[in-house]
Amino acid sequence: MQDLINGFRKFQSEVFGQRSDLFKHLATTQNPGTLFVSCSDSRVVPELLTQQEPGDLFVIRNAGNIVPSYGPEPGGVSATVEYAVAVLGVRDIVICGHSDCGAMTAISTCKCLDHLPAVANWLRHAESARLINAAREHASDAARLSSLVRENVIAQLANLKTHPSVALALGQGRLTLHGWVYDIESGAIDALDERSGGFVSLLDQIHAA
């Protein structure tokens, strides 16, 4: 806790004053362009990866970067998606998985989660990714995990499309969905290519566009 307090002290003394105009503007308004859905993993920091300022990203973080399908009893993720799209008018939604994901590792290795019932229930929202990945041959455990991380991003994008606010915005052409996978060790990001259905380097994809 002392590290957090020291960090806040540094923020107050060295950062806040230099950015006072920005924070004064943000005190009464926000206009993020992107909803960024990532894992809660401490090694994945959306604002750091994308070098965005406060106010630029609307962020959802949870175990496994999951977006449950829209249902009769929407939860906090559904409410956040709805607010981001219908009220804030975000133009892009990114679902970002990552390497060495603990949630996906548990699924990939069929780890017993009887002692973590809430986690087990939550990860059922990745069941379609698990089934698709399990039906494939993999050269190694690492390859199986890497494939599952990508399949989960695809599955969560599909879940996202079941949300009425998202479906409406997509139909009106004012929203674009993106699937990313961040590699912690290399710092690289692979992005889902809609045409091929595979993942390619985000920078290569941008250069090819």
Residue 19 falls within a domain, yes or no? no
CB contact set of 180 (below 8 Å; sequence gap of 6+): 94, 95, 96, 97, 153, 189, 190, 191, 192, 202
Residue 37 falls within a domain, yes or no? yes
pTM of the model: 0.94
Q: Which residue has tokens 């993993």? A: 41
Q: Domain containing 123 — which CATH number?
A: 3.40.1050.10
Residue 199 falls within a domain, yes or no? yes
Q: In which order are the strands placed within the sheet that holds 34-39?
A: 57-62, 34-39, 92-98, 176-182, 189-192, 199-201
User: Which of these ranges, 47-51, 109-113, 168-172, 174-178, has the smallest mean pLDDT?
Assistant: 109-113
DSSP state of 53: P
Mean pLDDT over 118-143 rounds to 96
What is the per-residue pLDDT across 36-87, written as a single tens digit (0 to 9) for each?
999 999 999 999 999 999 999 999 999 999 999 998 877 899 999 999 999 9
pLDDT computed for residue 206 by the predictor: 73
Average pLDDT along the chain:
95
- The β-bridge partners of 44 are none
Catalytic residue set: 39, 41, 43, 98, 101
Split at pLDDT 50, 70, 90, the class of 209 is low
pLDDT computed for residue 99 by the predictor: 98
Percent of the chain having pLDDT more than 70? 99
Task: Please state the domain count of the chain.
Answer: 1
Residue 66 falls within a domain, yes or no? yes
Split at pLDDT 50, 70, 90, the class of 207 is low
Q: Which domain holds residue 186?
A: 31-208
What is the per-residue pLDDT across 131-143, written as a single tens digit (0 to 9) for each?
999 999 999 999 9
Q: Are 59 and 38 in contact (CB under 8 A)?
A: yes
Residue 87 falls within a domain, yes or no? yes
Residue 3 falls within a domain, yes or no? no
pLDDT computed for residue 18 by the predictor: 93
Residue 13 falls within a domain, yes or no? no
Residue 17 falls within a domain, yes or no? no
